[in-house]
Amino acid sequence: MKRHVNSLFFKIACTVIAGVMCLAVALTVTNIMISKKIFVDNFAESQQKIFNQIDNEFYNFYRDITTIMTTLERSDLVNNYLYGDITEKERMKISYQLGEQMKNSRLSEYSDLSVFLIGENLKSYIINSSDRFSVPKKEIVENSIARKAEEYQGEIICQYLENGFTWVTDKQPAVVFAKSWPSTQNSEDTYAFITIKEANIRKMYSSFTVPSNDIVLLNQDNEVISSDNPDYLKGENSASFARIAKEMEDSDVYKTEKNTDGKICTYLVQQLQSTHYNIMGIINSAEAFQDQYDFWELTVMTIAMAAIIVLLIFLFVRQQTKPLSELVQTMQNSRKMKYKEHVQVKGTDEVRKLSETYNDMVDELDSYIHSLIQVEKDKRAAEIHTLQMQINPHYIYNTLASIKWLIWQGDTQKTTGVIDAFIALLRNTISNTDEFVTVEQEIQNLKNYVLINQARYGDSVSSEFYVTPQCSSYRVPKLILQPFVENAFFHGFADGRRGKIQVFVKEEGDCLRFEIRDDGIGIKTERLMELKNGNASKTEHFTGIGVGNVDQRIKLIYGEDYGIHISSEEGKGTTVTLTLKKKI
């Protein structure tokens, strides 16, 4: 189970799936937000058209209220009835004449209006003879609506009351219109009141409301006088409505904020024509949006589409990583198959190149084994050339095992780097059969070798390379530096000792000078003498090319004046100097 969890396919698949799901969620949220914004804009635009229709309805009603108030204010009959010293007979006559006069004021078109006046010493007159006061007249003139009418004398004031003043609106929510004006006969004020059931006002706009949309009518002080939502008539939201209406004066845009219940609402305000009143539309954005858009349906569709995409990506990733898995499996079995089994070349370019390189490696290893046997039998002089082509299978197995372990750990970046280094190293040591390479290629081989060893044994040993630029193009025998770097790794820094290896390349006249320095444990005097006398072991970890072989190759190629010099002090490190003749 752990092997599958740490596999490259599993990690790529999980990463892609997570990315697709995050993208799906992000797109869904973005789509909902944009859709909600567009929905609110469209809803606000349609609400504006509704406002215009309600405005026309209310304007006609308010025009009639104004006509009635104006008729009463200008009537001499009203002054005579309320303030004149008249007999009962004269009072009845004036009442009749006043009733006839009011027929021309459109009052007759409203059967549910209650119109009455109060004057000096609480004298009163009710236009509808069948109507009666349901509260004391003193309480009416002391009511806040009468005080407001007195404050704004000459203007029509409007206010909502939970109970009306007469039988027509008794014990029912009512809207009261009031106006006061000074009497022409004395200093007393005349009060005219028109009351109508709030339900009748609501009929003007009730057909335009939906559950997610509320209508509120506000008076001259931005107090609620009518609403399709009974909660708004209680006055708890009056301060909030007044603030919003004030902020949105002369504005045709909407305002969105939380209401007193914590819900996000969109507010639209428009002044009713020829009045100081406002009409306010309140949209519960969340409810309105949910009514039009099925969130769960959208979510299910998004999940379904994401699942299909994930499945397709899953199959694609599996197809792309399958050749790599087969290559790893073949490499694991290569030792049992004695490096004779080829892997099928397929997949991406990188995997194909890796497979081709592995097949080349297997072929070279097989060829090497046969060549080594032949070399041992014939003892030919070409032993040096054969040794330079020799690669220890154990080193390859350990390197591949290190790569496999990195893949299990999920370190994709490091795994890719080690695989690239290993491929380059194999190509330069197997595919490239030239005996000579450039200094740049030799240094690159060393860097790849160091990178592989650091992957196998850790980063306790660091390396630095200092190459004079003009030296990079000179040609040198292949693998003349690697044995010394290898010795530094495995002997100079034994038992996990930390340190540094430095490689210097520079020109000295007609010579090319290489120095490999380390600050390791150094070399004992006896061992150093063995190396100088050529008695050291010729078997090394990677190439099979020992220190003595390198020195012999240099002398065979360039002559006795060239070769290797080793200086070391126990506990302080070792310096190996190689002197070659420059060759382009």
* Cα–Cα distance measured from residue 13 to residue 314, given in angstroms and rounded to the nearest whole number: 6
Domain shared by 483 and 512, yes or no? yes
Distance from chain centroid for Cα 316: 26
Domain shared by 385 and 446, yes or no? no
Which of 398, 433, 468 corresponds to the end of one domain?
Answer: 433
Q: Is residue 300 part of a domain?
A: no
Q: Is residue 457 part of a domain?
A: yes
Q: Is residue 29 part of a domain?
A: no
Q: DSSP letter at 119?
A: -
Beta bridge partners of 569: 573
Beta bridge partners of 258: 264
pTM: 0.47
Q: What is the mean pLDDT of the chain?
A: 79
CA-wise closest residue to 368 among 341, 346, 387: 387
CATH number of the domain that 281 lies in?
3.30.450.20
Q: Is residue 19 part of a domain?
A: no
User: Is pLDDT above 70 for 427?
Assistant: yes
CATH number of the domain that 533 lies in?
3.30.565.10
Distance from chain centroid for Cα 558: 66
In the predicted model, what is the mean pLDDT of residues 250-267? 74
Handedness of CA 477, 483, 486, 492 (dihedral sign): negative
Q: What are phi and psi of 111, to 5 degrees?
A: -85, -15
Domain shared by 415 and 466, yes or no? no
Residue range(s) defining the domain that contains residue 383: 334-433
Residue 138: CB atoms within 10 A of its CB come to 10
Within 13 Å of residue 293, how many CA atoms lie on the same side as its CB?
Answer: 21
In the predicted model, what is the mean pLDDT of residues 383-402? 60
CA-wise closest residue to 259 among 240, 243, 278, 233: 240
| Residue predicted with more confidence, 390 or 267 | 267
Domain shared by 287 and 214, yes or no? yes
* Cα–Cα distance measured from residue 170 to residue 85, given in angstroms and rounded to the nearest whole number: 32
Per-residue confidence band for 354, with pLDDT thresholds at 50, 70 and 90:
confident
* Cα–Cα distance measured from residue 402 to residue 43, given in angstroms and rounded to the nearest whole number: 65
Domain shared by 426 and 546, yes or no? no
Handedness of CA 350, 351, 356, 359 (dihedral sign): positive
How does pLDDT run across 482-522, given as a tens digit for each residue?
A: 888 888 888 888 777 889 999 999 999 899 999 999 998 88
Domain shared by 439 and 399, yes or no? no
Q: Which of 76-90, 120-134, 529-543 has the lowest mean pLDDT?
A: 529-543
Domain shared by 171 and 143, yes or no? yes
What local confidence, expressed as pLDDT, does residue 538 receive? 45
Q: What is the DSSP string of 223-265?
A: -EEEESSGGGGGSTTHHHHHHHHHHTTT--S-EEEE-TTS-EE
Which of 415, 433, 451 corresponds to the end of one domain?
Answer: 433
What local confidence, expressed as pLDDT, does residue 173 receive? 92
End-to-end CA distance of the chain: 56
* Cα–Cα distance measured from residue 161 to residue 131, given in angstroms and rounded to the nearest whole number: 18
How does pLDDT run across 293-307, given as a tens digit for each residue?
A: 556 666 777 777 777
* Cα–Cα distance measured from residue 549 to residue 501, given in angstroms and rounded to the nearest whole number: 22
Structure tokens at 50: 């509704």
Please count the structural domains in the chain: 3
User: Is pLDDT above 90 for 466?
Assistant: yes
Type of residue numbered 59 = Y
How does pLDDT run across 172-192, given as a tens digit for each residue?
A: 899 999 999 887 666 678 899
| Residue predicted with more confidence, 314 or 198 | 198
In the predicted model, what is the mean pLDDT of residues 425-438? 76
Domain shared by 234 and 105, yes or no? yes
Q: DSSP letter at 410?
A: T
* Cα–Cα distance measured from residue 192 to residue 164, given in angstroms and rounded to the nearest whole number: 14
Type of residue numbered 446 = L
What local confidence, expressed as pLDDT, does residue 395 receive? 63
* Cα–Cα distance measured from residue 23 to residue 271, given in angstroms and rounded to the nearest whole number: 46
Q: What percent of the chain has pLDDT over 90?
A: 13
Provide the H-helix boundaries in 255-348: 285-292, 295-333
* Cα–Cα distance measured from residue 332 to residue 548, given in angstroms and rounded to the nearest whole number: 35
Domain shared by 100 and 248, yes or no? yes
Q: Is residue 20 part of a domain?
A: no
Domain shared by 158 and 272, yes or no? yes
* Cα–Cα distance measured from residue 556 to residue 548, given in angstroms and rounded to the nearest whole number: 12
Contacts of 19 (CB under 8 A, 6+ apart): none
Residue 52: CB atoms within 10 A of its CB come to 12
Q: Is residue 22 part of a domain?
A: no
Domain shared by 425 and 441, yes or no? no
Q: Is residue 28 part of a domain?
A: no
* Cα–Cα distance measured from residue 71 to residue 105, given in angstroms and rounded to the nearest whole number: 7
Structure tokens at 348: 């991406």
Domain shared by 274 and 347, yes or no? no
Which of 418, 433, 448 corresponds to the end of one domain?
Answer: 433
Per-residue confidence band for 378, with pLDDT thresholds at 50, 70 and 90:
low
* Cα–Cα distance measured from residue 79 to residue 75, given in angstroms and rounded to the nearest whole number: 7
Specify whether the CB–CB gap between 148 and 178 falls below 8 A: yes
How does pLDDT run across 201-250, given as a tens digit for each residue?
A: 888 888 777 777 788 899 888 899 999 888 888 877 778 888 888 888 76
Residue 236: CB atoms within 10 A of its CB come to 11
| Parallel, antiparallel or unpaired: strands 278-284 and 573-581 | unpaired
Beta bridge partners of 216: 227, 280
Q: Is residue 252 part of a domain?
A: yes
Residue 68: CB atoms within 10 A of its CB come to 23
Structure tokens at 224: 């609620």
* Cα–Cα distance measured from residue 383 to residue 437, given in angstroms and rounded to the nearest whole number: 19
* Cα–Cα distance measured from residue 459 to residue 449, given in angstroms and rounded to the nearest whole number: 13
Q: Which of 92-96, 164-168, 383-387, 568-572 has the lowest mean pLDDT?
A: 383-387
* Cα–Cα distance measured from residue 484 to residue 8, given in angstroms and rounded to the nearest whole number: 36
